[in-house]
């Protein structure tokens, strides 16, 4: 029975997300926050689905030797050691678009709550106290809202708050003025924004640069009437400094959804009347969880199938257009043919694209070629994720070149390897027919046409009559059936290259005998997988 890939669900995942995984995977569950349960459960896992409470650090990644993908059902990957995953060849993806609307809407709620003391008044009333003057607030309309971080959430918050009549200004050194103006905001230096705003909301990732960004110095620059909202990451606003500023009347109010350490139940901030606090609810809506689950499940399925994962964060390539996707497995296989033909890894690899594909973004093809080249010799797992790292370690450099002239094909990909001993080895493939079948069309300068699938075997020998019969005889003696074959002479007509698609791997003893019988100087096999 074929083994289905094991997908470990380590946290609550929406039913739609579980359903999106389909029936061709073996779904298992574990409580990812329980380390003692998580580590052994990872031993068999091909994929793990997490939210924010499962720590996928170096130790956890090492506990999953089969792992191919870590997918986060949500935005942000603070709980995943991305460099460790990259080294291990494990793809990491999150679902960055899934919770933008929910988080932006919660931010609107927090802005309103901190302006109007909604939660404090609610709690007081339910406690029997009718205090209208005590909970009087301020309007949003006409006030300046400072948005720090004008990415997905920040931009949506800016648009939504403009509808309240707020004057929205933003600080984000990494966005263009065009993006800001399309969002309807003015970009300002941080100091100027801090000095002007009546309300401040941060929508930043946690990075060394953003940790504590809103701290003592920032509060010093702000008006004492300012109200601060954080629904991004706890550590972006320094909690101790915020507490001091609120206590001393240097900040009028704060609304927080996130905390430096979570779960957080006993912060000094919770003792203050002018603080509204929610327990990390930004993405906690049915809609966001459904989208996050489905997006993460789709990333898992794509990664397990070896396909391009648009939400991957640790694959070093840009977008992969639809027309480029069938070329990924083809280029990977070409890499395997090249390394096997040469008996080792080249020092330099050129990935040449010709014809119609030459104009398309092709970074992913370079990664696929590197993967194919390296996986024959590497000791651990090789994927498009760690291929550049492993190439660097073994001194292999690569480059992409493109030419509009496809030659005999509409499009073709050639791998050209230059080896440390000066040898140059080339292999070329193309996709043919309506079903885009991968074909080899050139090997070591010999033109041929051979399906680039299944087990392949090649021999290069001085051309003479009867050679194919001798080779076929050796294969037949081991019960190996030939599904397709091609013989190609070099331009001088003296050397022949025979390529065979075989139904089962040719035993090495049979290949050795065949090579001796025809006087081959090269004989090699390319296994169907890895």
Ligand X SMILES: NC(=O)c1ccc[n+]([C@@H]2O[C@H](COP(=O)([O-])OP(=O)(O)OC[C@H]3O[C@@H](n4cnc5c(N)ncnc54)[C@H](O)[C@@H]3O)[C@@H](O)[C@H]2O)c1
**Interaction site with ligand X (CB under 6 A):** 75-76, 96, 99-100, 103, 148-154, 171-175, 203-205, 209-210, 231-233, 257-258, 280, 282-283
Q: Which is nearer to ligand 2HG, 101 or 428 (CB)?
A: 101
**In angstroms, rounded to a whole number, what is the distance separating the alpha carbons of residues 393 and 117?**
58
In the complex, minimum distance from the CB of residue 364 to ligand 2HG, in angstroms, rounded to a whole number: 27
Q: Are 216 and 243 in contact, with CB atoms under 8 Å apart?
A: no
In the complex, minimum distance from the CB of residue 171 to ligand X, in angstroms, rounded to a whole number: 6
With CB under 5 to 8 Å by kind, the binding choice for 174 among ligand X, ligand 2HG, none is: ligand X
Q: Which is nearer to ligand X, 204 or 312 (CB)?
A: 204
Helix (H, G, I), strand (E, B) or coil at 129: coil
Q: Which is nearer to ligand 2HG, 258 or 501 (CB)?
A: 258
**For the residues of 209-239, what is the DSSP string, one character each?**
TTTT-BSHHHHHHS-TT-EEEE-S-GGGB-H
Helix (H, G, I), strand (E, B) or coil at 170: strand
Please list the residues that pair with 253 across neighbouring strands: 227
**For the residues of 76-112, what is the DSSP string, one character each?**
--TTB-HHHHHHTT-EEE--TTTTHHHHHHHHHHHHH
Please list the residues that pair with 502 across neighbouring strands: 455, 482
With CB under 5 to 8 Å by kind, the binding choice for 130 among ligand 2HG, ligand X, none is: none
From the CB of residue 23, how many other CB atoms can be counted at a distance below 10 Å? 8
280 tagged catalytic: yes
Nearest to 281 by CA among 126, 102, 437: 102
Binding positions for ligand 2HG, rule: CB under 6 A: 51-52, 74-76, 99, 282-284
With CB under 5 to 8 Å by kind, the binding choice for 209 among ligand 2HG, ligand X, none is: ligand X
Of the residues 233, 333, 384, 460, which is catalytic?
233
262 tagged catalytic: yes
With CB under 5 to 8 Å by kind, the binding choice for 28 among ligand 2HG, ligand X, none is: none
In the complex, minimum distance from the CB of residue 59 to ligand X, in angstroms, rounded to a whole number: 23
**In angstroms, rounded to a whole number, what is the distance separating the alpha carbons of residues 51 and 302?**
19
Of the residues 262, 325, 393, 410, which is catalytic?
262
The residue sitting closest to ligand 2HG, measured at its beta carbon, is 74
**In angstroms, rounded to a whole number, what is the distance separating the alpha carbons of residues 384 and 315?**
7
In the complex, minimum distance from the CB of residue 256 to ligand X, in angstroms, rounded to a whole number: 10
233 tagged catalytic: yes
With CB under 5 to 8 Å by kind, the binding choice for 64 among ligand X, ligand 2HG, none is: none
Contacts of 264 (CB under 8 A, 6+ apart): 234, 279
Q: Which is nearer to ligand 2HG, 140 or 300 (CB)?
A: 300
Q: Which is nearer to ligand 2HG, 75 or 309 (CB)?
A: 75
Q: Please identify every residue annotated as catalytic.
A: 233, 262, 280
């Amino acid at each position: 029975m074929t083994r289905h890939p094991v997908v470990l669900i380590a946290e609550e995942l929406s039913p739609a997300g579980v359903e999106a995984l389909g029936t061709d995977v073996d779904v298992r569950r574990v409580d990812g926050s329980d380390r003692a349960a998580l580590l052994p459960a990872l031993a068999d896992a091909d994929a793990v689905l997490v939210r924010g409470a499962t720590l996928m650090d170096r130790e956890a990644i090492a506990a999953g030797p089969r792992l191919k993908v870590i997918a986060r059902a949500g935005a942000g990957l603070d709980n995943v050691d991305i460099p460790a995953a990259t080294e291990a060849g494990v793809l990491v993806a999150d679902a960055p678009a899934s919770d933008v609307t929910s988080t932006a809407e919660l931010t609107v709620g927090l802005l309103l709550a901190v302006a109007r003391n909604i939660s404090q008044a609610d709690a007081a009333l339910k406690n029997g106290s009718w205090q209208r003057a005590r909970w009087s607030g301020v309007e949003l309309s006409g006030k300046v809202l400072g948005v720090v971080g004008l990415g997905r959430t920040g931009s949506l918050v800016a648009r939504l708050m403009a509808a309240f009549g707020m004057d929205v200004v933003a600080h984000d050194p990494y966005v263009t003025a065009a993006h800001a103006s399309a969002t309807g905001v003015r970009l300002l230096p941080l100091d100027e924004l801090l000095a002007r705003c009546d309300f401040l909301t941060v929508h930043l990732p946690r990075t060394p640069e953003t940790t504590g960004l809103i701290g003592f110095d920032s509060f010093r620059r702000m008006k004492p009437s300012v109200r601060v909202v954080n629904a991004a990451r706890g550590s972006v606003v320094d909690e101790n400094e915020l507490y001091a500023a609120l206590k001393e009347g240097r900040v009028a109010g704060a609304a927080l959804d996130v905390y430096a350490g979570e779960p957080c139940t006993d912060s000094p901030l919770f003792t203050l009347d002018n603080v509204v606090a929610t327990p990390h609810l930004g993405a906690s809506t049915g809609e966001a969880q459904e989208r996050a689950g489905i997006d993460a499940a789709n990333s898992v399925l794509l990664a397990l199938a070896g396909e391009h994962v648009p939400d991957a964060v640790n694959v070093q390539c840009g977008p992969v257009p639809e027309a480029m996707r069938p070329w990924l497995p083809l280029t990977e296989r070409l890499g395997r043919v090249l390394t096997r033909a040469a008996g080792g890894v080249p020092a330099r690899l050129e990935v040449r694209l010709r014809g119609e594909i030459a104009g398309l973004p092709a970074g992913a093809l370079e990664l696929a070629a590197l993967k194919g080249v390296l996986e024959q010799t590497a000791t651990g797992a090789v994927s498009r994720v760690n291929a550049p790292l492993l190439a660097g370690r073994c001194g292999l450099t690569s480059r992409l070149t493109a030419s509009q002239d496809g030659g005999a094909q509409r499009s073709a990909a050639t791998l050209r390897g230059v080896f440390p001993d000066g040898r140059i080895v080339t292999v070329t493939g193309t996709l043919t027919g309506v079903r885009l079948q991968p074909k080899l069309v050139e090997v070591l300068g010999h033109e041929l046409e051979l399906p680039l699938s299944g087990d392949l075997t090649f021999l290069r020998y001085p051309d003479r009559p009867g050679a194919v019969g001798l080779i076929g005889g050796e294969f037949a003696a081991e019960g190996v059936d030939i599904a397709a074959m091609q013989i190609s002479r070099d331009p001088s007509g003296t050397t022949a290259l025979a390529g065979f698609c075989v139904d089962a791997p040719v035993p090495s003893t049979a290949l050795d005998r065949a090579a001796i019988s025809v006087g081959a100087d090269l004989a090699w096999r390319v296994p169907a997988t890895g």
